[in-house]
Amino acid sequence: MTTTSPTWNRAPVRVGLVGAGPWARAVHARVLAAGPETLLTSVWARRPEAARETAAPYGANAAATFEELLADCEAVAFSVPPSVQAELAVRAAEAGKALLLEKPLALDLAAARRLVDAIDASGVVSQLVLTNRYHPATRRFLAKARTLDVSGARSCGVSGAFLGGDFATPWRLEHGALLDLGPHLLDLLDAALGPIVRVRGAGDPRRWLELTCEHEGGAVSQASLSGSVEVERGIVRVELFGRHPELVLDAGALDHEESWPVLRREFATAVRSGRPEALDAHRGLYLQSLIARALDG
């Protein structure tokens, strides 16, 4: 199902895309080119032929260099490994470009802080692609959760993505599910139950990891994470318990075609207004800090 955006009566935001892998082609390029809030102007990747293949269906330019891409846009979207994003997004921020960022912001907390410092110094707008958060069903779930006195929660982010295919990429295989799937679950748990004040992990992020989180209001939540198990389809699920009927979000069953128009419109609105939404780079840095604390045990 595709959701049509309300009428957009401002100039589309001219966006350049860094990256030309499967996710860039399937989501970023297609969504940004769909408009009317954004216009895909350029694509740059380290493999020129991949950039051309990604740009061609939308009449976008295949930039020969990153600098050429920066000169051809007012905002930059990233669909590259975290280490590459952390480096190039700093340069884009310093060039005054708004940023549409993937999670995690970087491979480690120090690099994430450098990126956020560059964003703050330049004053550019940033937004994080936390897919589930732009879906209407997730927003209804979170609105309901905030009215409840939740005692505890359990959640699961489990898939076989690392066993082979487009998402069995080197950084995911090396660092595991905590960096890849962790931001999604930690964000949902934190948004539903309140700020996470303590988090500890047990297990191996490359096989199976269990997180236990303590929230500011006293609730306790758990998250099971793995990208290396055989399942029929990926499972992303959050269950809330208390003195109320169980409240469940089955995010793995959501049609994310309903998320993309919301994300695109909110990003364009933030760029045009100069005011970032709550899901900005600071949210990404907060999630990265939780990941670092979980790794520290």
Class of domain 13-131+257-278: alpha beta
Give CATH 3.30.360.10 domain extents, the chain. 136-253
Give CATH 3.40.50.720 domain extents, the chain. 13-131+257-278
Of all residues in the chain, the percent with pLDDT exceeding 70 is 98
| pLDDT tens-digit map of 117-132 | 999 999 999 999 999 9
Average pLDDT, the chain: 95
Task: Judge whether 271 and 96 are in contact, CB under 8 Å.
Answer: no
| pLDDT tens-digit map of 99-158 | 999 999 999 999 999 999 999 999 999 999 999 999 999 999 999 999 999 999 999 999
pTM equals 0.95
pLDDT at 1: 40
The set of residues, in sequence order, having a beta carbon less than 8 Å from that of 186 and lying 6+ positions away, is: 196, 199, 211, 213, 223, 287, 290, 291
| pLDDT tens-digit map of 87-99 | 999 999 999 999 9
Task: Judge whether 186 and 212 are in contact, CB under 8 Å.
Answer: no
Closest CA relative to residue 192, chosen from 144, 158, 154, 237: 144
pLDDT exceeds cutoff 50 at 2: no
pLDDT at 19: 98
Under CATH, which number does the domain 136-253 receive?
3.30.360.10
Task: Using pLDDT thresholds of 50, 70 and 90, give the confidence band for residue 6.
Answer: low
pLDDT at 7: 82
Query: CA triplet 188, 88, 95: central angle to 5 degrees?
Result: 105
Alpha-carbon span 63 to 84, nearest angstrom? 17
